[in-house]
Amino acid sequence: MRRSDIPDGAEHINLADISHKQNGTPIIELGTFGGASDPVFNCVWSSSGPSNVKAFSWRLLLHRLPTKVNLGRRQILLSQTDPVCKLCAGEEEAASHLFCSCLFAWEVWSCCYCWFGLLTVLPIKPREHLLRFKFGWNKDQISGSYTVWSAVVWSIWLMQNECVFRNREPDMNSVLELIKWRSWLWIKYKWRGFASSFFEWYSSPLLCLASS
Ligand SMILES: [Zn+2]
pTM for the model stands at 0.81
* pLDDT tops 80 at residue 80: no
Specify which residues 92 forms β-bridges with: 84
Residue 189's H or E segment, with its range, is helix 172-190
pLDDT at 66: 87
Q: What is the pLDDT of residues 85-126, one digit of tens each?
A: 999 998 888 999 999 999 999 999 999 999 998 888 888 889
Angle at 135 between CA 10 and CA 189, to 5 degrees: 30
Task: Please list all protein residues whose beta carbon sits less than 5 angstroms from ligand 1, which is an ion.
Answer: 85, 87-88, 102
**Ligand 1 midpoint to CA 172 (Å):** 13
- CA 178 from centroid of its chain's CA atoms: 12
Angle at 43 between CA 159 and CA 137, to 5 degrees: 110
Which range of residues forms the domain containing residue 118? 3-210
pLDDT at 78: 62
Neighbour tally for 63: CB within 10 Å = 14
Q: Which pLDDT band, with edges at 50, 70 and 90, does 10 fall under?
A: very low
Q: Which pLDDT band, with edges at 50, 70 and 90, does 22 fall under?
A: very low
Cα gap 102→91, rounded to integer Å? 8
Main-chain dihedrals φ then ψ at residue 28, nearest 5 degrees: -120, 120
What's the structural domain count of the chain?
A: 1
Cα gap 57→132, rounded to integer Å? 15
**Ligand 1 midpoint to CA 86 (Å):** 6
Q: What is the pLDDT of residues 51-72, one digit of tens each?
A: 999 999 989 998 888 888 888 7
